[in-house]
Every structure is written in structure tokens, then in C-alpha cells.
Structure 1
Amino acid sequence: MSTLRRRLRNVYLAAGATSVLAATAGRRGDRLTRLAKPTLMPLLAASVAADGAARRHPSVLAGLAGGWLGDVILMGKAGRSDDPAVRAKNLNKGSAAFAVNQVAYITELWKQGHRPRRSTVALRLPVLLSGAGTAAVGAPSALPAAVGYGSALAATSVLASDPEQLPKGAEPLDADLTGVGLGGNLFVLSDGLILARQAFLQGEQRLVRALDGVVDGLVMATYVAAQLLIVEALTGAGDDK
């Protein structure tokens, strides 16, 4: 990893930490969110370009553009609406942009030799079904996001956790707990937290608002980590230049 890329990575992590704190603060942190969150994907894109990896991995840059658009949509006023239907509609719009992000990652993973395995699909199918069930029960308006975007996330996670891509001597669990595999799983976790928040954390009671802030902070933390892990793995950030 070049010195410039390492510096941009540190700036990304700082912006990510700021976004997590702002999300945890709820509506009080919205102004800070609008300043910090839109910088995340451009910083990752700049870090990719810093090593010249943009030419080798254009699909990753396209995915980051989709992620940036999704970030901008989700932090709009509709995302804080008191009407669950309005929030769900906003989530569906954001998920459409994030689907571009995931399709780009799926494309790059496939290009690099990752394939679905029976074991990785079997582990993720119940998670996808539970997400759809959560939306159907608690937030039916968010079903397009749960089923459509959720399927794209599951596909990314399946490919990212391909055990056949592990280096010799690695433990089987490393496919899920390190690098791109961990990134894919954190994305699924982040989406699950979003659906749980949409379905169950409704109302203006103090406890509900406090829990909503905690969950929103966890959503941001898992998202920031997932994007970094996947992008660095796909673009060879750890390789010697």
C-alpha cells in the first residue's frame, strides 16, 4: 500500500468514525452526518486511484459511485420522517442505488475467480428469508429493499466467502472472518440492522429514540468497515507495489 493510499485510508477511517458518532446522536447529529458521510465513498475511490488500481478495477469505482448516491439518498429528510411509509420509500430508493454498489462488487468478485458454493449459499439463505420476514411483519413497505437489495447483498456475501479462494494453510472459518469475506458478512449485518430499525424502532418515546441511535450507529460502523474491507481486498491494497 502506497503512502498516499495509507493516508487516504486514515482520513476515511476518521470520517467513518465521525459518521458513526453522528448517527448515534440521532437527529442531533444530522448536520454532522451531512458533512461527513458524503465524503466516505469519494475517499475510498481516491485511495483506489492513488495506487493506480482504478484502471485495473473500474467496476469498483462504479460501485463506489452507487454507494455514494445511496448514502446521499438515505441521509435526506425523508429518512427522518415520522411516517414509517415515507421512511420505507426512502429506504427503497437508497437500496436501488446501493444495488449498483453490490452488482459492481459481484462482478469484480466473479472476475477474480470467486464462485458460489453449496455451503456458503446454505448459510445465507435463512438470513435472506429472515430479513424478508422481518420486513413483511414490521415494515411491509420496505419489502423491495429487503428482497431486492437483500438478494444482491447475499450474493456478494456468498461470493466473498468462497473458501476455495483462501491461501494454503488458512482455516475454513477465515473465509467468513477475514478480508473480503468478513466485509460481505458485515454488509449483510448492516442491512439486517436497518430492517430491524425500520420495523421495530418506531415512535418518539425516549427509550425508543435512544435505542434507535445505538442501532443507527451500529449500522454505520458495520457499513464503514464492510466497504473498506471489500474495496481493499478487491483492489489488492495489501499487495506490495
Structure 2
Amino acid sequence: MRLLSWIPVVVVTLAHLIALVADATTAAAWTQAILMPALAVVLLTVPRDDRGPAWPWALGALAGSWVGDSLPRVMPEGATFLAMVGGFAVAQVLWIVAFTRVERGRPPMAWTLLLVVVAAALLAVTVPSAGMLAPAVVVYGLLLLAVAYLAASHGWVGGLGGALFVLSDGLIALGAFRPELVDWPQRDLVVMATYVAAQALFVAVILLTRSPDRTAGRPPLRRDRPGPVTR
């Protein structure tokens, strides 16, 4: 069931990327609106007993991302960017909570330093051009840094997801405040491809890790009698 639950994600993602390449604006808008619901289906197919405390926070993060994807399309022209950033800021906070509710290690120091350098460079380039939005850009950048760091504490799956998330959001920020630096064809294709891949890897982290509560509460394996071990 878990493998089958990924099929809608693959189908919708391919449809969305093809629509971007073909410059089919309406199709791209509709498929973008159902990307996060398709990923939510993956979480919803997890048996109730296996969900753990991180599950609702991850589902909420996908909901926040869906708001960031969809709300700007119904907002006035001047409020679209704030609507997008607001939805994704909520999603960032919820991913932070989700990643701290399951067992984790510590990212390699080299990864942490690289992450800090990239985040600092993005802020240095975008904040001077952000005007009144500069405080919001700084706060969002710090949230993004925290998400990427905590995701990487769950191994290479989370680390790759965090890197792709930083790349996707970094391109969005540059496109908003320094468009001359990212003025190349199919930039939106790269933004969306890395965005969906990052969210999918974050969901994979939730599926692959166990919560401390579940681990601590699991009964020890009995070796003194035959028969299958049950939960």
C-alpha cells in the first residue's frame, strides 16, 4: 500500500513539470494545487498505530505548503508574495516540530557549515533589495536554515531533502528580489522539481524514522519461546 500511495505523487508531479515545460499555465496552476494533497495521501495511508507523534505535524506542514501553493492565486496582485511566504513559513515551523519529535542524530559539521554559508550568502544578496519585507525575509531564512539542519539530522535522506529545499526557496527569493541573477529559461521548472523532491524526502523521513515514544514503549524481543514477535 505504501508503494502504491506514491503513484499519485509521481503522476501529478510529472503532469505539473510537463505543463511548465509546455507553458500550459492553467494546467500548471491546477496540478500545483494538488501536489501537496497527493503527498498527504502517502501519510494518510500509514496505519494509525504506526503514525507516531511526528505524523500530525508533518501532515500540517503539507497543509501549510498547500496554502503557500494555492492562496497566492486568489489574492490581490500586491499580496501574492506575502501569501506564499506566510503559508510556507507555517509549513517550516511545522516541519521543525515534526523533525524534533522523532529520533535523530547530528548532521556532519561540514554540512552544517556549508548550510550556514549558503544561508548567509542568500540573505546577504536578497535582504538589501527586500525593502520593507527585509525582516520577514530574515525570519524566513532562519526558519529555512533550521528545517534543513534538522532534516539532515535524520541521515542522508533528510540531508538531501534539506539541500533541495534550500535550493528551491533560494531560487524563489532570488527571483523575487534579484531577478537578474536567475534570469534563465525554465527556472520555474527547477524550482518546482526541487520543491516537490524536497517535500517527498521529508515525508520519507517521517516514514523511515520511529518516534522516541514508540521506541521506548516497544516490548523487548522474547527469545525463550518460538512464534512470531508481535507489537
TM range, smaller chain: 0.7 to 0.9
Match of 1:34 in 2: 29
Could you tell which deviates more after superposition, 117-126 or 150-159?
Answer: 117-126
Match of 1:20 in 2: 17
Alignment-mate amino acid for residue 60 of structure 2: A
How many pairs does the alignment contain?
204
Match of 2:214 in 1: none
Percentage of identical aligned residues = 30
C-alpha distance in 1, partners of 2:171/2:192? 10
Asked if 2 retains the 8 angstrom alpha-carbon contact of 1:135 and 1:142, the reply is no
Structure 1 residue runs of 5 or longer lacking an equivalent are: 166-174, 203-207
Match of 2:59 in 1: 61
Alignment partner of 1:104 is 2:104: no
Q: Where does 1:53-132 land on structure 2 (aligned, <5 Å)?
A: 55-56=51-52, 57-76=55-74, 86=78, 89-114=79-104, 119=109, 120-132=111-123
Deviation of 1:98 after TM superposition, in Å, equals 1.0
TM-aligned CA distance change 1:13 to 1:74, over 3 Å: farther
Larger radius of gyration: 2
Structure 2 residue runs of 5 or longer lacking an equivalent are: 210-231
Deviation of 1:100 after TM superposition, in Å, equals 1.8
TM-score w.r.t. the length of structure 2 is 0.76
TM-aligned CA distance change 1:38 to 1:235, over 3 Å: same
Match of 1:170 in 2: none
C-alpha distance in 2, partners of 1:14/1:77? 28
Question: Could you say which structure has the greater relative contact order, defined with CA pairs below 8 angstroms and 6 or more residues apart?
Answer: 1
C-alpha distance in 1, partners of 2:8/2:86? 27
SS in 1 for 2:6: helix
Asked if 2 retains the 8 angstrom alpha-carbon contact of 1:92 and 1:145, the reply is no
CA RMSD of aligned residues (A): 2.7
C-alpha distance in 1, partners of 2:19/2:137? 25
Deviation of 1:55 after TM superposition, in Å, equals 4.2
TM-score w.r.t. the length of structure 1 is 0.73
Q: Identify which of 207, 211, 216 aligns with 1:235.
A: 207
